């Protein structure tokens, strides 16, 4: 197994900058220590895939795109009609179990761990910061905590998961992650920002 | 409106062409047929069906009804449910 190397490691030195009011109202960090698995069925086999996944997780699956199932360390996102993302701690055996359980004629199991960078943004100005570049209504009544959306930021696709009222996780494409990171830092300047160290839960 | 993701900003989509033109049969070797398919387009005024991709969202291809005179969007469906297939071929 190849070691994963952060796409934004060169920009991650902990530092910060005060905003116009002298405060630092956004904290930004990179989350590591996770794996990402995509499972996609064919249109004709979506029910069979759902049945297989239910037998593995023994839980009801999300029914609508944008909904998330949280179960312990596992997070399952419904990303399409017949498609799911699963975020798990790195080294988890789930990927191997899924490859065995999901027959190739039912669906495809693909590891996306190396293809995304997970950036965590938190703070009283996090929503205002992201609203500068994401064309979604981020009001808590509309984009409620616990939901996610596939959208765009700085001309690239991102998945944004709202893990709390003032906390967001961005899954940016690895090759654009530094570009997204630099956009976030630039857009944070008026609010003031603090870059925190890389970690499994960097803002904990 | 994306049938998967719901209402989204137009900047998340990209235009993908006329959804009313049947693609010539794959066996067609006449260059004029392919020329006309690739390069010649009507310029309809009013309701029109177009391919769009939700490229910054779920990446699905859609067929969107749009009024070319007012830019008013209408119903959208997944393209795989509404695709215009090659001439002479079943859906």
Tell me the domain boundaries of chain B: 10-82
Q: Which residues in chain A have Cβ-Cβ distances shorter than 8 Å to B80? A: 43
Residue of A82, A135, A147, A158 to mutate when probing chain B, most B C-beta within 10 A = A135
Q: What is the largest CA-CA distance in chain B?
A: 42
Q: What is the pLDDT of residues A98-128, one digit of tens each?
A: 989 999 999 999 999 999 999 999 999 999 9
Query: Cα(A86)–Cα(A111) distance, rounded to whole angstroms?
Result: 10
In chain A, CATH 3.30.1360.120 covers 15-32+114-195
* pLDDT tens for each residue of A57-88: 888 999 999 999 999 889 999 999 899 999 99
A142 — contact with chain B (CB < 8 Å)?
no
> Rounded to an integer, what distance in angstroms lies between the CA atom of residue A146 and that of residue A127?
15
CA–CA dist B89, B66 (Å, integer):
27
CA distances, A109 to each of A121, B60, B70 (Å)? 29, 19, 44
| Top-tier CATH class for A34-113 | alpha beta
Q: For residue B80, give the chain A residue with the closest CA.
A: A43
**Residue A203: per-residue pLDDT:** 64
CB–CB contacts below 8 A, A to B: 38
Whether B32 has its CB under 8 Å from any CB of chain A: the answer is: no
- Indicate yes or no: CB of B60 within 8 angstroms of CB of A80: yes
Mean pLDDT of chain B: 89
pTM here is 0.89
Strands A192-195 and A16-18: antiparallel
Facing residue for A150 by CB, picked from B9, B58, B80: B58
Instruction: Decide: A17 and A189 in contact? Cβ < 8 Å.
Output: yes
In tens, the pLDDT along A23-34 reads 999 999 999 999
CA distance B59 to A10: 31
Rounded CA gap, A45 and A22, in Å?
Answer: 56
User: For testing the chain A interface, which of B57, B62, B78, B79 should be mutated: the one with the most A CBs within 10 Å?
Assistant: B57
Q: A29, A203 in Cβ contact below 8 A? A: yes
Q: Where are the beta strands (DSSP E) in chain A?
A: 16-18, 26-31, 34-41, 68-71, 74-80, 83-89, 107-111, 116-122, 148-153, 156-164, 167-173, 192-195
pLDDT at residue number A57? 87
Considering only alpha carbons, which residue of chain A is nearest residue B6?
A65
Residues linked to residue A122 through DSSP beta bridges, in sequence order: A27, A167
Given a cut of 90, whether residue A178 has pLDDT beyond it is yes
Of B4, B9, B80, the CB nearest to A135: B9
Q: What is the pLDDT of residue A43?
A: 86
**Do the Cβ atoms of A157 and B56 come within 8 Å?**
yes
**Which residues of chain B lie closer than 8 angstroms to A81, CB-CB?**
4, 78
The rounded distance, in Å, linking the Cα atoms of A35 and A168 is 18
* A6: its two tokens: 């952060």
CATH number of A15-32+114-195: 3.30.1360.120
Which of B:33-62 have CB within 8 Å of A? Answer: 55-60
Mean pLDDT over B21-38 rounds to 92
Is the per-residue pLDDT at A5 higher than 70? yes
Tell which CATH classification among 3.40.47.10, 3.40.50.740, 3.30.2270.10, 2.60.120.10 matches the domain B10-82.
Answer: 3.30.2270.10
Which residues, at least 6 apart from A160, have a Cβ–Cβ distance to it below 8 Å? Answer: A130, A134, A136, A148, A149, A151, A153, A168, A169, A170, A171
């Amino acid at each position: 197994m190849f070691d994963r190397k952060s796409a934004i490691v060169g920009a991650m030195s902990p530092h910060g900058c005060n905003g116009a009011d002298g405060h630092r109202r956004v904290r930004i960090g990179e989350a590591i220590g996770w794996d990402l698995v995509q499972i996609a069925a064919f249109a004709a086999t979506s029910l069979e895939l759902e049945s297989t996944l239910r037998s593995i997780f023994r839980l009801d699956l999300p029914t609508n795109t944008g909904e998330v199932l949280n179960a312990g360390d596992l997070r399952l996102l419904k990303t399409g009609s017949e498609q799911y993302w699963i975020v798990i701690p790195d080294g988890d055996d789930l990927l191997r179990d899924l490859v065995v359980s999901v027959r190739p004629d039912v669906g495809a199991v693909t590891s996306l761990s190396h293809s995304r960078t997970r950036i965590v943004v938190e703070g009283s100005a996090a929503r205002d910061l992201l609203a500068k570049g994401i064309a979604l209504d981020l009001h808590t009544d509309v984009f409620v905590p616990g939901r996610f959306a596939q959208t765009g930021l700085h001309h690239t696709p991102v998945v944004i998961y709202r893990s709390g009222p003032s906390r967001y996780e961005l899954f940016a494409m690895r090759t654009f992650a530094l570009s997204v990171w630099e956009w976030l830092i630039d857009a944070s300047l008026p609010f003031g920002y603090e870059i925190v160290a890389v970690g499994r839960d960097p803002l904990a | 409106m994306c049938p998967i993701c719901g209402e989204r900003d137009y900047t998340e989509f990209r235009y993908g062409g006329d959804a009313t033109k049947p693609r010539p049969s794959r066996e067609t070797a006449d260059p004029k047929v392919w020329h006309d398919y690739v390069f010649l387009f009507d310029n309809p005024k009013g309701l029109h069906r177009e391919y769009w991709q939700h490229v910054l969202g779920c990446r699905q291809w859609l067929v969107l009804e749009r009024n070319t005179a007012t830019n008013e969007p209408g119903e959208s469906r997944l393209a795989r449910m509404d695709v215009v297939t090659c001439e002479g071929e079943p859906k």
